[in-house]
Amino acid sequence: MARTAIIAGVGPGLGESLARRLAAEGCRVALFARSETYLEELAADLPEPGEGLAVPTDLTDVETVRSSVETVREEFGPVDVLINHASSAAWKGIADASVAEFERSWAVGVRGPFVCTQEAVEDMLETGGGTVIFTGATSAVRSLGGAVGFTAAKFAARGMAMDVAQEFGGDGVHVAHVVLDGQIDTPGTRDRYPDRDETTFLDPDEIAETYWHLIERDAVGTQPFEVHLTNGPQNTEFL
């Protein structure tokens, strides 16, 4: 039976790779982000025509998020897979970051995933289980300095993932946290870092493969909570 999946926070790079990988495995994939044109083009270009659903969503707006999940239920049915992938950062330290910038990091990276997870887990408990994956970063496990809003949000999201895993793991809800400890090879990244060895970039398609392995284990009693992916030296400016 085809899974219904939501990717909350989709853009060129890993978000797109995740969408394509899940669609290739037969999932009905709903795409959440603010860019309506991009989402519609990606949804139409997924491996299975008609199996992608563009749902323009501002993840900082609680009622919009709940409405978007309801749209997915109406089109595809209950949620089986949720990937909390969105984040926001001003890349500023405590002296320079504004309250508004800090709060936006929290709204996108913590409150948005909280609401998405609350909605998805409700479905999963009714249908017998599912998978929730949080996309983390180096800053989720160790502070690098100079990105206080991003770091605080990533630490909080990791804690939330751990708490939900403890609460609902016995009910068949597999919650996992993926630490991306390095620079993802997104469009334009290599142009910004022309002197870097290309082997140090994280391949988004390979990362998406790891996510799929986690999803496939959603009914296994012994569930991996955290996967740490890295490849060579990290670029601390973007973690």
Q: What is the pLDDT of residues 62-100, one digit of tens each?
A: 999 999 999 999 999 999 999 999 999 889 999 999 999
Q: Which two tokens stand for residue 226?
A: 């955290």
Are the C-beta atoms of residues 107 and 152 closer than 8 Å to each other? no
Query: Which amino acid, 114?
Result: F
3-state secondary structure 108-129: HHHHHHHHHHHHHHHHHHHHCC
Are the C-beta atoms of residues 181 and 234 closer than 8 Å to each other? yes
Distance of CA 222 to the CA centre of its chain: 22
* 113-148 CB burial, b ≥16 within 10 A, e <16: bbbbbebbbebbeeeeebbbbbbbbbbbeeeeebbb
Residue 209 has pLDDT above 50, yes or no: yes
Q: Tell me the pLDDT tens digit for each residue of 98-154.
A: 999 999 999 999 999 999 999 999 999 999 999 999 999 999 999 888 999 999 999
Instruction: Please enumerate in sequence order all residues whose Cβ is within 8 A of that of 188, keeping only pairs 6 or more positions apart, or say none.
Output: none
**C-alpha span between 8 and 61 (Å, rounded):** 13
Q: Which two tokens stand for residue 92?
A: 């500023």
Instruction: Say which residue the tokens 């929290």 belong to.
Output: 106
Q: Which two tokens stand for residue 111?
A: 């409150």
**C-alpha span between 91 and 136 (Å, rounded):** 16
Instruction: Please enumerate in sequence order all residues whose Cβ is within 8 A of that of 100, keeping only pairs 6 or more positions apart, or say none.
Output: none
pTM of the model: 0.93
Question: Residue 137's domain spans which residues?
Answer: 4-238
Report pLDDT for 191: 67
Report CA-CA distances (Å) from 1 to 22, 25, 77, 107, 127.
14, 11, 12, 34, 13
Q: Provide the 3-class DSSP secondary structure of residue 239.
A: coil
Residue 232 has pLDDT above 60, yes or no: no
Q: Which two tokens stand for residue 8?
A: 């909350």
Q: Which two tokens stand for residue 113?
A: 């995933």
More confident position, 50 or 167:
167
Number of domains in the chain: 1
Looking at residue 123, which CATH number applies to its domain?
Answer: 3.40.50.720
Q: Tell me the pLDDT tens digit for each residue of 138-185.
A: 999 998 889 999 999 999 999 999 999 999 999 999 999 999 998 887
Report pLDDT for 187: 73
What average pLDDT does the segment 27-41 reach?
A: 96
